[in-house]
Amino acid sequence: MSPKAFLLLLLLLPGLLLAQPQFAFEGEVLDFSLEKTSPESDTLLWIVSGRFFLSNLHHEALSRLIWFPVPASDSVGVAEDVSISLIEPVDSMSVELLYQNQRGFGFRLDLPARSFAGVKISYRQKISGSEARYVLLTANSWGRPLPSSEINLTLGQGITLTDLPYPDPIVSLDAQNSNYRWTFLDFVPDRDFVVRFGCL
């Protein structure tokens, strides 16, 4: 290939990728919990479990690579015990974890034509600071508001919020935990889900 042709391909590649048929992101249910590893330990566990609902509205099967960012830092460990599975899979559907690094993980999703699928993703991180984070802003990269989003946060005994991740949650308390719930329709997140907390 000539240098001119190679440069032209580099210029056209983003447009070609955007022109490819894509999945539609239809909704999500996110469950977060923050708990102490032991009463004496300063390390906490940030446990994430999400159900993500996607559709292939095209007349052909689609296979796409999806990047799932998971922030890590000096006080927040990398994602551990990563699990990805299909909810009620049918023939020709598959999901596979492909790689993982310090910034997150990537997986491949295969869906047949005119299909709808649920994908369950879970992982955990060790927290030694006073902040846990989940990247919500990538939901905006799907090109339209997210039709439905439900977010649930459970704080274990002795853990309190110092700042709300999003305003106006429904709050419930039980003997051991504090529970927060947010529900959104046509959701366009304007920030990540950041939990700032203190320990008693």
Question: Percentage of the chain surpassing pLDDT 70?
Answer: 90
End-to-end CA distance of the chain: 65
Task: Supply the pLDDT for residue 37.
Answer: 84
* pLDDT given for residue 17 in this prediction: 44
The reported pLDDT for the residue numbered 19 is 52
Residue 12's pLDDT is what?
A: 47
Which residue shows structure tokens 């939901």?
A: 139
Question: What CA–CA distance (Å, rounded) separates 16 from 87?
Answer: 31
Name the DSSP class of 11.
H
Contact 49, 31 (CB under 8 A): yes
Kindly state the average pLDDT of the residues 41-57: 95
Q: Please state the pTM of the whole predicted model.
A: 0.87
User: Rounded to whole angstroms, what are the CA distances from 24 to 106, 141, 147, 164?
Assistant: 18, 11, 10, 30
State the average pLDDT over residues 76-86: 97
Question: How confident is the model over 16-36, as a mean pLDDT?
Answer: 84
Extract the tokens encoding 197.
Answer: 């907390």
Q: Which of 30-44, 114-128, 167-181 has the lowest mean pLDDT?
A: 30-44
Mean pLDDT of the chain: 90
- Please check whether residue 173 is in contact with residue 161, taking contact to mean a CB–CB distance below 8 angstroms: no
Residue 14 has pLDDT above 70, yes or no: no
Q: How confident is the model at residue 200 (pLDDT cuts 50, 70, 90)?
A: confident
Question: What is the average per-residue pLDDT within 105-124?
Answer: 97
In percent, the amount of the chain with pLDDT more than 90 equals 78
Q: What is the pLDDT of residue 40?
A: 74
Average confidence (pLDDT) over 129-155: 95
Q: How far is CA 58 from CA 22, 34, 61, 145, 184, in A?
A: 8, 39, 7, 20, 27
Q: What is the DSSP letter of 112?
A: -
CB 95, CB 107: distance < 8 Å: yes
The full set of domains in the chain, from first to last, is: 21-199 (2.60.40.3680)
Say if residue 15's pLDDT is above 80: no
Which strands sit side by side in the sheet containing 115-127, from one edge to the other? Answer: 80-87, 115-127, 44-56, 24-36, 146-155, 178-187, 170-173
- Cβ atoms 28, 50 nearer than 8 A: yes
Choose among 195, 194, 70, 44: nearest CA to 127.
44
